[in-house]
Amino acid sequence: MTELQLPLLIEPDTLEVTMGYDNVLIVDLGKADTYRKLHVPGAVFLDYARIVASSRPVMGLLPDDDTLQRVFSSLGINADTHVVAYDDEGGGRAARLLWTLEVAGHRRYSLVNGGLHAWANEGNPCDATPVTPTPAEFRVVHNDGPCASSDYILERLDSADTRLLDVRSPDEYHGNRKFAERAGHIPGAVNFEWTNAMAQNLNLRFKPDVELKQLLADIGIMPDKEIIVYCQSHHRSAHTYMVLKHLGFQRVRGYAGSWSDWGNNPDLPIE
């Protein structure tokens, strides 16, 4: 069969006609119960917990390279595999997988626009038969380019070239809801709740590019800046990371651990 170059954001209709191409692996990161009832034909299931680590109270950390190597090998990913990911919640979990793959040095990936909502609601075929992955050999070539640590952020708090984008709810951002020792946000961060990027009337797809660019520009998020995204654990912000990448932003980083890291460290400043 012929290999195919797929876009970062792939429509369900496009995926349906390209599922049979060589080296395309579809990964479902939805709920296990949902996968057992319906999933994209041929999709393998991945438990989200396998691609995140924790060191309580800090959640959403990157697993070590050996762990990622084992997980991705067991899924059937090698250097030539094009991974197409989706979930049943709008894309946060799927985006975190793709971000993690990029950190592991793998850049052949796509996110299904709208995920399972768009796929199933628009009449595409669904299956209930579990798929057993065929293991492959994955080698991590660690890439820190997509990552921001607390130290990295701290050094750039006053930089005119860097913008911090907090994609938690407004209540979390303003400190009215607290999921860490301290409430609030990183100094200078602007708020853009991650679901604002989704079109509810289009089965949770990304909103149109023009609309997204305007929403972001209105809060000072411009493509000529370095953008660092965070939430509580870099789950929601992984989705925003992919939104920005899709829009052509070249310098985007995600903060693993996010507010569960920053908000639990008394040595770091907050607003």
pLDDT tens sequence across 8-46: 999 999 999 888 788 999 999 999 999 999 999 999 999
Span of 13-27, 108-122, 167-181, 250-264 with lowest mean pLDDT: 13-27
* pLDDT > 90: percent of the chain: 96
195 burial (CB, 10 Å; 0-12 / 13-18 / 19+) is middle
Per-residue pLDDT for 171 more than 80? yes
9-121 is a CATH 3.40.250.10 domain:
yes
Average pLDDT over residues 229-250: 98
CATH 3.40.250.10 domain span(s) along the chain: 9-121, 150-262
d(CA 170, CA 120): 31
Tokens of 49: 């917990």
116, 197, 260, 71 alpha-carbon torsion, rounded to 10°: 30
Indicate if 147 belongs to the active site.
no
d(CA 1, CA 21): 6
pTM as predicted: 0.97
Active-site choice (85, 94, 104, 231): 231
Work out whether strand 82-86 and strand 24-28 pair parallel, antiparallel, or are unpaired: parallel
Q: Residue 22 has what pLDDT?
A: 80
> For the domain bounded by 150-262, which CATH number is listed?
3.40.250.10
